[in-house]
Amino acid sequence: MPNPYDLSPAEFLQTLESSGMFKPAVIQKLQKLVDSGIHPYDVLGKITGGSRLNKPDRTPAQEKPMAPVLKSFDLEGVARYISEERCRRVVVLCGAGISTSAGIPDFRTPGSGLYDNLQRFDLPSPQAIFTLDYFREHPAAFYELAREMWPGNYNPTPTHYFIRLLHEKGILLRCYSQNIDYLECMEGLPAQ
């Protein structure tokens, strides 16, 4: 096959189609990309890990850095931005960082993370406490950890109150949390 970039996107797609390597549904999807100005090899090369062959005319332009949007990266800065810009659909993505100030350890921080502090259970690996096989053999370890982390043992943080406030103001579209501490719901955020 010649260098894909020696062929126009349509010519390259025709070569792929005539080779019989792809199902018609794939060719149709690639045709849509060609119609929008994308060379099929740009997509296929990424999927297959293929190298990008001599394409000096197709290198992406350098991105220009954006000016900072927030004056500060704390609750006050976020609240100011929401108020000044009149945001009406806010999506919150949160993780362990919003609960560590309540005393709940994250998983991986060396020294204070949950995985570093599970040695007392004599686990084969820190993640074992969350596996069904280990639980079946040693349920007491999981139950002890669950008792320590049980809802009601910790209080919501200012960030949890802030998320609830967004909900009460009617501007919280979604809150996606990877936390298992239930503090968002304890603070009054609906589970849905």
The three-state (H, E, C) secondary structure of 96-133, written as one string: HHHCHHHCCCCCCCCCCCCHHHCHHHCCCCHHHHHCHH
Q: Which residue matches tokens 């009460």? A: 168
Between 24-35 and 40-48, two packed helices, what is the crossing angle to 10 degrees? 130
Confidence (pLDDT) at 50: 52
Which amino acid, 84? E
What sign does the dihedral 153-159-161-167 (CA atoms) show? negative
Confidence (pLDDT) at 16: 84
CA distances (Å), 2 to each of 7, 12, 16, 190, in order? 8, 9, 12, 58
The answer, as to whether pTM is greater than 0.75, is no
Mean pLDDT per 10-residue section of the chain, whose length is 192 residues: 74 85 86 86 67 51 83 91 94 91 86 84 89 93 88 90 94 92 85 76
d(CA 150, CA 98): 17
